[in-house]
Amino acid sequence: MDLDLERARRGDRVGFQRLVERHSRDVFGVAFRLTRNAEDADDVVQEAFIKAWKKLPEFEDRASFGSWLYRIATNCAYDLLRRRQRRVSRESSYDAAEGWVEQIAEEQDISPEGRLAVHRDFHRELESALDGLTGAERAAFVLRHLEERPLAEIGELLGLKTNAAKQVVFRAVRKVRTQLQPLMEASR
């Protein structure tokens, strides 16, 4: 068994420090994918390790520490996405699926044709599409499509049965597609 892990489990901070140093970059990776910005990802990384420290006594040998930590981190990120979502839905009246594209277009009085020109950039449009998803949809989409996690695990994170989690993935893919398809056609 991992010596650092064994020490950390017994409450040794030096052992835990080594685990933090070894796993931070990986945790940042998934946190960044889910939150889409470095600052939030950084918050998630810190929160995940603080939680991990608290929960370490419950950690069981048969799991790998990396995947255990991964789940804690995705949970933290999902919490953050949900908090964000609540804030966004309170603050704005525009259709969340359209995201900031619509808002900016409206503010600057840009025609539908002009919108495509403004947001020609696929990258920005993708971020906008992901922004328009609910927290659950974004988590489901990122974990399924980008992290290639099994549906059962995604369901566990979202607190849903596997089949319900699948429906959330469908919904997310449909929304992303609706927003990105015009760009695909324009670039053809």
Site residues, other proteins (CB under 8 A)? 9-14, 16-17, 20-25, 28-29, 32-33, 36, 38, 41-42, 45-46, 49-50, 53-54, 56-57, 122-123, 126, 144-146, 169-170, 173-174, 176-177, 180-181, 184
Nearer to other proteins, 24 or 85 (CB): 24
Q: CB of 41: closest distance to other proteins in angstroms?
A: 7
What phi and psi values does residue 13 have, to the nearest 5 degrees? -70, -30
- Identify the sign of the CA torsion 68, 34, 49, 87: negative
- Residue number, 41 or 105, with CB nearest to other proteins: 41
- Helices 13-35 + 65-91 axis angle, to 10: 40
Specify whether the CB–CB gap between 101 and 128 falls below 8 A.
Answer: yes
Judged by CB, which is closer to other proteins: 55, or 87?
55
Q: What share of the chain is helix, strand, coil (3-state, %, to 5)?
A: 80, 0, 20
| CB 142, min distance to other proteins, A | 8
Give the length of the chain: 188
**Residue 179 C-beta: closest distance to other proteins, Å:** 10
| Closer to other proteins by Cβ: residue 16 or 65 | 16
CB of 107 to other proteins, least distance (A): 26
**CA contacts within 13 A on the Cβ side of 1:** 13
Choose between 108 and 178: whose C-beta lies nearer to other proteins: 178
SS3 category, 110 = coil
Count of beta carbons in the 10 Å neighbourhood of residue 107: 9
Least separation in angstroms between residue 65's CB and other proteins is 14
Residue 63 or 146: which CB sits closer to other proteins? 146
CB of 28 to other proteins, least distance (A): 5
Q: Which residue has the tokens 């969340």?
A: 96
